[in-house]
Structures are given as structure tokens and as C-alpha cells.
Amino acid sequence: MSQLEKILLGFAVGFGSLWRFPYLCFTYGGGAFLVPYFILMFAIGIPAFYLETAIGQAFQQSAPKCYSIVNKRWWGVGISQLITTFFCSCYYNFLLALCFLYFFLSFNSSLPWQSQDSIINPDFLYKDVLQLTKTLEFPKEINLTLVGCYVLSMIVVFLCISKGIKTSGKVAYVSAPMPYVLLIILLARGLFLDGAFEGIKFFLTPNLHSLLNLEVWMKAAVQVLFQTSVGTSGLILFGSYREKNSDLLKSSIFICMLNAFTGILGGLTVFSYMGYTAKSLGLPDVSALPLTGIDLAFIAYPTALTLLPFPSFWAILFFLMLIFLGLDTQFAFVECISGTLEDEKLSIGGVQLKPIVQRILICLAIIIGGLPLLTDVSLHLLKLYDTFSMDAPLTGVVTIEIFIYSMDYSLERLANDIKAKTDQIVPRFIIFLLDKVSLPLYTILFLVALYSLIFHDTVGLPIWAAFLGWSLTLIPFGVILSLIHI
């Protein structure tokens, strides 16, 4: 596997596999979430991954320029994807900061989140670490400890990508395979815990009634895009770095399937420990655990680890794995933004910025963009960022992307270009899925995402929070509309 393939793999495999994927399975009916997830991975995930990688590899340019090849008015689509990447990077780095904090805390002989009163101790995360308010209100205090860890994580990312794709490629040799080693070790230990198989049964057994809920399908589609990094412009950029004759179909299927495998592996691991925790608490099943959002990574798992022999050792192992997962994707986020700006020859006052200066400015921008998450409403805002910057923007922009290449350019013409430039024939099933399946499905799922945002997610939000959330959603589309006449 080449350096670039390791970077692509690290870009696609991240927190989404170990945190977001199991959480969505837990929230939307256990195994019922797996059914639409795998259907959509094949129907819209792999074709879109192939499309973006092939475009970059064939035209050897960043996303904005690749869209401009079709028509200059679509240049803004690439910029909108870059903005979505930036928003995602801000809250991604918040999770990475928490991982660093818990990693340092794991070196205590007695883990600080251990409770004498009960097995599950959410107070440590909510009160001691985050100093979280009970409800979403206007931020009043900045958490300096989190600020320090947030800045530290960005410094680590910067040092790893300071010299560009060559440096991050070398780092990927270690960071890409390491999470799999650690996951397998933790799963092997988890399978021998009392109650582990009850947790895994919940994870794999579908609740068929949930399949009738369109929101489940929309969330599964967003998760496919989130895990594969489709719609962020990164696949196009990293595709442009590959040799023109690099195999497109094999790498697309391999990375997407390995991504799905990582989600399943992460789910088996997390739910084995969740089953153990539920059994230890005397609960009827895993669904009775009082968990939401990042609780899976920062409450349920650490709690289960405290019940094992040598808990500090297992905690260090677990959070080290999360750090590797997060760093891989964060490397690619920053490199994606920086590489695109380099390709666009960004200049200030007529002076073109050096690549290292661009990377410094990007890291500083992510720190500033993440400041709201480092306050006493951090967890509430994390959900806001995750929902409003992902659901409609990802499904909507990918819908526009496929529309551009199927309607404005034509997929047959694109296939001929790819054949001429890479000497590879685009499989007919890829063209069929993009044209006849992906485009209508993405359109429907985008409308479902908008409906959910309007009639569900916005309800009960303070005015300022609703404004922030809709800004995260609408800014990418506003960029497209504002630049469409250029």
C-alpha cells in the first residue's frame, strides 16, 4: 500500500468508526441501522468515492478547479466543500483534545473517573472535565484545560504535516495500521467479559420497525459520507496526488469496505463493553444504559475499563487508539484545506503565501473556530455542530456534485475523459448507480435532512444557537450561490 493510499485510508477512517457509528447504531435500533448503512454504502458510498477519486486522479487538480473544468460557475462547489471540511475539523479537534486529556489522566494509578457510588459516573465528564451547563445557554466560561489540550492537538497535527504530503505520508505508515492493532486487542479482551455477547446481540439484531423511519436512512447516508469523507473535497485533492494509472476501482472498493469493516469492528468492541456494563448494573439490556452522543467513548468505555484488571493500562491503550484515529483524519483535513489553497495560488496583498505559512494560518483558524466548543456548553454545541454542519450540507453538496457531472457534463463524457487520462474504463455499474440510483437517493435524503433540521433539530433551540446552527448549514450553499455567476 502506497503512502497516498495510507493517507486516503487514514482520511476515511477516524472517530466516525469508533464513536459516531456505534452511537448511531445505539440510537437508531441497533442492527436496524446496519441494514440501510450497508445498502447505502454500496448504492451511494462506493460510487461517490470512486467519482471523487477518479476526478482528482484524471485531472490532477484540486476540487474547485475540477468543477471549473465542467463550467466556471461551479468553482464555488469546491469552495463550499472546503468550508464543510473546516467546520468538521473544528469539532473533530475538540474530540481529539478530549482524547489527549483522558490519555494523560489514564496514567494515574487510580483512574479519576472511577466512582465509589456507582459504576457509571457521568459527573466526571460533565462536571469535572467539561464543567457543562445542564441546558444549552449562552456560553459564560472558557475551559482553560480544554483550550490547552485543543491547542496541543493542533500543534501535534501541524508538526506531522508541516512539510506537506511527504511528511503526513510517512506518519501514516504508523498511524493508519495502529488503531486496528489496538482495536483487535481490546475486542479480544472484551469478548471474555460477562454480558459481552448480550451487547453484541443488541448491536447486530435489527429492529425492523426502524427501517420505516426515513430519518434512519438519512442518518445512515450521512454516516456513509462522514466515514468515507465524500463531499469534503479531500478525496479529489488526494486523488490528484496519485499516479494516473493507479487502480481506481480496487482502491475505492477496498477503502470503503475496510471503512465499513472498521465500523463493525469498532461496534463489536464498544458493544461488548457496553453489554458488560449493563450486566454489571443489573440492567435488562444495553438500550437501558443512560448514554447519548460522545458518552460511548468518554463514559461507557472508560467505565467498563475500570472494572478490568490493570484498568490504567487498558485506558492508556484505548485513548491512544482514539488519538491515532483522530490524528489520521485531522492530518488530512488540514492538508486538504492547505493543498487546495496552494493549488488556487492563494495570495495576500499580491504576495503568495508559503505552504508552511498557510498551514500555520489554517491551524490557527481551526483553534479560533473551535473556541465555542471550549466553553461551558461544549457538549451541547458539539451536537449542534455535528447535526447542522453535516446532515444537509453533506447530502446537499454531494447531490449538486453528482448533478454537475451527470447533467451538466454527462457521465459518459466524464468516463471518456477518465479513460483517456488514466487508461482505465469506468465500470458500467458505477455509471448506472451514479445516474439512476445515487442522484435521486441523495436528493430525497437531502430533503429529509432539511425537514429534520427545520421541524426537529431547531425546535427548542435558543435564538443565538439556531442562528449558529443554520449558519453552519447555509454558508456552504451561500458560497455556491454567490459564486455561481462568476
Q: What is the 3-state secondary structure (H, E, C) of 23-83?
A: HHHHHCCEHHHHHHHHHHHHHHHHHHHHHHHHHHHHHCCCHHHHHHHHCHHHHHHHHHHHH
Return the closest-CA partner of residue 5 out of 260, 330, 241, 327: 241
Angle between helices 378-388 and 75-105 (to 10 degrees): 150
Strand partners, 351: 348
How many residues are given for the chain?
Answer: 486
Strand partners, 384: none
pLDDT the model gives residue 13: 60
Helical residues (DSSP H) of 347-436, grouped into ranges:
355-369, 378-388, 391-403, 411-422, 428-432
C-alpha cell, 58: 484524471
In Å, how far are 204, 407, 439 from 413, measured between CA atoms?
42, 11, 17
**Residue 363 near residue 333, CB atoms below 8 Å:** no
C-alpha cell, 49: 468515492
pLDDT the model gives residue 347: 64
In Å, how far are 31, 122, 129, 338 from 117, measured between CA atoms?
33, 12, 19, 49
* Tens digits of residue pLDDT in 107-137: 988 889 887 655 677 888 999 999 999 889 9
pLDDT the model gives residue 6: 53
Instruction: Burial-class residue 141 by CB neighbours within 10 Å (0-12, 13-18, 19+).
Output: exposed
C-alpha cell, 260: 465499513
155-157-163-169 Cα dihedral, nearest 10 degrees: 160
DSSP single-letter state for residue 13: S
Q: How far apart are CA 243 and CA 293, in angstroms?
A: 40
The count of other CB atoms within 10 Å of the CB of residue 5 is 18
* Tens digits of residue pLDDT in 329-363: 888 888 889 888 888 776 666 677 788 888 899 99
Q: Which residues contact 320 (CB under 8 A, 6 or more apart)?
A: 103, 182
pLDDT the model gives residue 165: 54
pTM above 0.95, yes or no: no
Buried b (16+ CB within 10 A) or exposed e, 471-486: ebbebbbebbeebeee
**Residue 187 near residue 271, CB atoms below 8 Å:** no
Q: Which amino acid, one-letter code, is at 206?
A: P
pLDDT in tens, the chain (486 residues): 554 555 555 555 667 777 788 888 888 878 889 999 999 999 999 999 999 999 999 999 999 999 988 888 899 999 999 999 999 999 899 999 999 999 999 998 888 988 765 567 788 899 999 999 988 999 999 999 999 999 999 999 998 877 655 555 555 555 567 777 777 888 888 898 889 999 999 999 887 787 888 899 999 999 999 888 898 888 898 888 888 888 899 989 988 998 888 889 888 988 988 898 888 888 888 888 877 777 777 887 787 778 778 889 988 988 888 888 788 788 888 888 988 888 877 666 667 778 888 889 999 999 999 999 999 999 999 999 989 999 999 999 999 999 999 888 889 999 999 999 999 999 999 999 999 999 999 999 999 999 999 999 999 999 999 999 999 999 999 988 888 765
In Å, how far are 58, 108, 250, 428 from 425, measured between CA atoms?
12, 57, 13, 9
